Amino acid sequence: MIAIVGGTGPEGSGLALRWARAGEAIVIGSRDAERARAAAQQIVEKAGPLGSVEGADNATAVKMCETVVLTVPFAGQAELLKQLKPAFRQGTVLIDATVPLAAAVGGRPTRVLGVWQGSAAEQAAEIVGKNVQVAAAFHSLSATVLNADGDVDCDVIVCSDDDRARQAAADLAVKIPGVRAIDGGKLENARIVEAMTALLITLNIRHKVHGAGWRVTGLGI
């Protein structure tokens, strides 16, 4: 069972939709359990009969699951993780998709903030502590594309210092039709992948599209 904290937003809902269609059991987390249940119901209607999607407040969602995906705006990431820390089970895999867009402080969504730990994902790892294994992934998938029906023409670059967390993120990535999981090395590399999402926002604006993405070439895979 997979918790998606911030799952009522377009990115989290899009991931939930794709994973439900792949037969996964999903818990949408939100500050407001009612709002989470309403979002879950909408996703169920789009997803069809295969998986399951329910809603809960964030802490309950985290307690229920051994895999937690975090899709929240950067402005709320640290505070939320501090609140949720006691809810994580020992050995939970936290997959962080947070991008520290400067929009968090009134700046442009095409720029990233410098995060003291190096990246939003490393900030997340510092806050949740050693009982939780962190991978960074799913930054670059367009919410517009995820919430539509077609294949997703984008690779997911996974950065982690923990093999189990890296594998959990990769396994979830390839459940999305069209997506490949690419081992992006250590968690510290999340700072690059996060910034690449800000560049995708530039590309979306410059090219008047909503679904710019990245593919890695030349890997012989």
Q: Which of 85, 180 has the CB closer to a copy of itself?
A: 180
Instruction: Find the helix packing angle between 120-128 and 190-207, rounded to 10°.
Output: 140
The reply to whether 219 sits near a copy of itself by the rule CB under 8 A is: yes
Edge-to-edge order in the sheet of strand 93-96: 52-57, 25-30, 2-5, 67-70, 93-96, 133-136, 155-160, 180-183
> In Å, how far from its chain's centre is CA 129?
19
Q: Is 56 exposed, middle or buried (0-12, 13-18, 19+ CB in 10 A)?
A: buried
Q: Which of 15, 53 has the CB closer to a copy of itself?
A: 15
* Size (the chain), residues: 221
The reply to whether 221 sits near a copy of itself by the rule CB under 8 A is: yes
The reply to whether 220 sits near a copy of itself by the rule CB under 8 A is: yes
The reply to whether 154 sits near a copy of itself by the rule CB under 8 A is: yes
Q: Which stretch binds a copy of itself (CB under 8 A): 12-20, 36-44, 66-74, 201-209?
A: 201-209
CA-closest candidate to residue 100, choices 111, 87, 90: 111
Q: Which stretch binds a copy of itself (CB under 8 A): 28-36, 42-50, 92-100, 212-220?
A: 212-220
* 3-state class (DSSP) for residue 211: coil
The Cα diameter of the chain in Å comes to 47
The reply to whether 110 sits near a copy of itself by the rule CB under 8 A is: yes
- Using the rule CB under 8 A, which residue among 142, 147, 173, 180 binds a copy of itself? 142
**Distance of closest approach, residue 184 Cβ to a copy of itself, in angstroms:** 7
Q: Which stretch binds a copy of itself (CB under 8 A): 35-43, 79-87, 94-102, 206-214?
A: 206-214
CB–CB of 137/157 below 8 Å?
yes
The reply to whether 195 sits near a copy of itself by the rule CB under 8 A is: yes
Q: Which of 10, 23 has the CB closer to a copy of itself?
A: 10
CA distance 20 to 43: 8
Query: Which residues form the interface with a copy of itself (CB under 8 A)?
Result: 110-111, 142, 145, 153-154, 157, 182-185, 188-189, 191-193, 195-196, 198-199, 202-203, 205-207, 209, 211-221
